[in-house]
Structure 1
Amino acid sequence: MSTTPTDVPRTDRKPRPRLLHGLNWLVVRQHRASMIAVLAMIVLGSIWIVHYRGQMHDLLTAAGWPDKPLAAGEVYPPGYDYAVNALSVLPVVLAVFVGAPLISADQENGTAQLVTTQSVSRRRWLTSKLFWSYLLVIVCATVISAFFTWWWKPYHDLMPHQWFDGPVFDNTGPMLPAFCLFLTAAGITIGLLVRRVLMSMVVTFVFAVAVETVWSPLRQFLGSPRMTSYPLDAEAPSKLDNTWELDRWISDSDGRLFGWGHCTTKMPTEAAHDACIKENGIVDNVVKYLGYDQMSAMQWTGAGFLLLATVALTAFTLWRASRRPL
């Protein structure tokens, strides 16, 4: 039987080029389900924000804004509550479902031992996994945060939450990516130490909720407080609009401070109150506050602390993995 040219195998066909090779391809393929889920979450979340921002714009236009002044919350933004709730739990979700199982799953099913018996070192294998998980988290949090900031910032005077409230401060600018990175790094470290997927997810969830609870009262320390005073019987000056009031006093002409209730809580009648004011020479209100113009600097300061903590957790994870068997 003669051999025709079509029967001869072709040797000049080049293999299809791949964007990823070797260990990176293996890591992405291993975690493709979680990556697809997060990417889908990015797309759906972005579409959600764009849709409801458009609805809010239409409602404000119909109400006559900006020519007609509106009070905060007078036109309640549709979908806003769902958006801020979803953004508030996003760092926890990423920590529990991306961070915690990243290493603990490989430890529990033996993949870690198998991989590290090959030509790949433990540190190189772990570095690749950390790189792709952090990249996924950064892309997700940055895109969603950018869309939410785009929604909130032009209408911040009309929104139900003020700039210093957690649903806004922690979900706009650099804060959301920094929070997501930190809690994901914490989940990875917890998974490395616990070595069991379900238990590491539970511990990570508890840790993440505790961090978000503790973070709330610490937010005010990210900025440098300002002080201002104005006459006792006068209206508050406009510069105190949209500020975060930290404390308030009353003072005499020499600047000596008294507690806000000094002449109120102890005085049974209005005449006694007026007598207390005159006796102590009280003439001014004194306010300690943080201004809206400090928001960006405060966010970058907070993000800096969270990123430093992320670096520390990552360094510990790499050190631990290189020193002890997985």
Structure 2
Amino acid sequence: MTTLTREPAHAAPAGPTRKNVMPRLGGTVWLVWRQHRAAFWTIIAATLVGVAAMLYLRGQMMDFLGTQEPTSRRSGGLPPEFETHVDRLLSIGSYLSYIPVLAGVLLGAPLIAGDLESGTAKLVTSQSVSRLRWLTTKLAVPAAMLALSTGVLAAVFTRWWGPVKGLSDGLMWTSLFSVTGVVPVAYALLTFTVGVAAGLLLRRTLVSMVVTLGIVVAIEFLWSEVWRSLGHVMSISTDQGVGPGMTPPELPAEAEQQGQGTYFLTGSGDRLDWMTCLDQIENDRAHTACLQSKDVIGWAIDYLPVDQMQTMQWLGAGAMLTITAAVVAFILTWGRKRLL
């Protein structure tokens, strides 16, 4: 009688395998990435291209500034060639201003509306995945991708703009307020969640995109009207008269004038419109006598200083993120009850 003997199996090599070392997405995160991988890769590619372009153009600008005398930079005496760099910077800034529109219309609006139209939402939530988990992941993954890419682009653009801030009228801080600092990230997240909410309510991709576009345009108009109110308006005045040889006060560097312009200041502290006694301006003596009869002692100008920029940006971003959080809460609450 013979017996069969089996050779002992070789032990598996010690240590983790490559498959265990490499991080892998799983669950709903993997599903969301798989669903929208084309959009995510597009965002990554656009971010890399944008960063590379801005770094290249900034390098050219710094090389140009390096050939100029420091005194010419401080006095605004840069040659006309500098305007080429100004135009490039403003052009890229205008492109960045479209990020909130793209985030709301192309990323936010179709996110859930597309799943509702195709039946994917019903298929996913009929499995072991809860509606809340699916909605949370659908919001979190694109939002994280959007915040990261927008933040990188805004940071690189802000660094490009920093050395030439205020050297040209087009490069005033108020011209680029909404595309620098923390504002672009908060703005993009706001329009993204608004688009998602529209898609959840309307349940049709094309209709949601059109409605979102209208809402984003309205938000942009409202923002352009109110963001200056986030700052504290300062005033500068004179009290030595307004007669011949006297000039209005000069604003601090990079300050933006507010209101109607230059006002006449009276001895009691009241302000008169600059058109006061304008009908007698052709006669210096009559014009001076008219202003003296109204107790005009000097000029006053309102302005926003540049040192308030970061504070205003954080206040604006905080307001946007607060609204964003409210919209997210609405999406999760509505979606849990009426998703399908």
Instruction: Check whether TM > 0.5.
Output: yes
Q: Radius of gyration: which is bigger? A: 2
> C-alpha displacement at 1:180, in angstroms?
0.4
2:108 to 90, 93, 99: 99
- The alpha-carbon deviation at position 71 of structure 1 amounts to 4.9
Cα deviation per residue 1:25-59 (whole Å; 9 max; x = unaligned)?
11111111110000111100101111111111222
Change (3 A) 1:200 1:164: same
Q: Aligned pair 1:23/2:28, yes or no? A: yes
Question: Does 2:216 correspond to 1:216?
Answer: no
Which residue in 1 is equivalent to 2:247? 234
Summarize the Cα distance change of 1:21–1:15 in structure 2 as closer, same or farther, 3 Å threshold.
farther
Amino acid aligned to 2:230: L
- Per the alignment, residue 311 of structure 1 pairs with 325
Which of 71, 85, 108 is residue 67 of structure 1 equivalent to?
A: 71
Q: Which residue of 2 aligns with 1:205?
A: 213
Q: 1:115 aligns with which of 121, 124, 127?
A: 124
| Contact 2:166 2:173 (C-alpha < 8 Å) held by counterparts | no
Counterpart CA distance in 2 for 1:88 and 1:322 is 34
**Cα distance 1:73–1:312, how it changes in 2: closer, same or farther (>3 A)?**
farther
Cα offset for 1:130?
0.6
Deviation, 1:251, is: 1.1
Indicate the residue corresponding to 1:287 in structure 2: 301
Alignment of 1:122-161 (within 5 A): 122-159=131-168, 160-161=170-171
Instruction: Give % identity.
Output: 34
Counterpart amino acid of 1:161? L
Moved more, 73-82 or 188-197: 73-82
- The answer as to whether partners of 2:76 and 2:167 remain within 8 angstroms in 1 is yes
Specify the alignment match of 2:3 in structure 1: none
What is the match of residue 267 of structure 1? 280
Instruction: Work out whether residues 101 and 197 of structure 1, in 8 Å CA contact, stay in contact via their aligned partners in 2.
Output: yes
Q: Please state how far the C-alpha of 1:140 moved relative to its aligned partner.
A: 1.1
Cα deviation per residue 1:262-302 (whole Å; 9 max; x = unaligned)?
A: 122x4363343222112112121111211000001011111
Determine the C-alpha separation between the residues in 1 that align with 2:69 and 2:211.
Answer: 48
**Unpaired runs of at least 5, structure 2:** 1-5
Which one of the candidate residues 92, 96, 118 is aligned to 1:83?
92
The question of whether the paired residues in 2 share the 8 Å contact of 1:73 and 1:158 is answered with: no
User: Structure 1's 325 and 93: CA in aligned 2 closer, same or farther, altered over 3 A?
Assistant: closer
Q: 1:163 is matched with which residue?
A: 173
Runs of 4+ deviating beyond 4 Å: 10-15, 71-74
Judged with a 3 Å threshold, the aligned counterparts in structure 2 of structure 1 residues 259 and 145 are, in CA distance, closer, same or farther, namely same
Aligned amino acid, residue 87 of structure 1: L
Give the AA of the match of 1:262.
Answer: T
Rounded Cα–Cα distance in structure 1 between residues aligned with 2:205 and 2:38:
16
Q: Cα RMSD (Å) of the superposition?
A: 2.4
Greater alpha carbon shift after TM alignment, 144-153 vs 24-33: 24-33
Partner amino acid, structure 1, of 2:172:
Q
Of 65-74 and 51-60, more deviation after overlay is shown by 65-74
Q: Distance in 2 between matches of 1:15 and 1:111?
A: 33
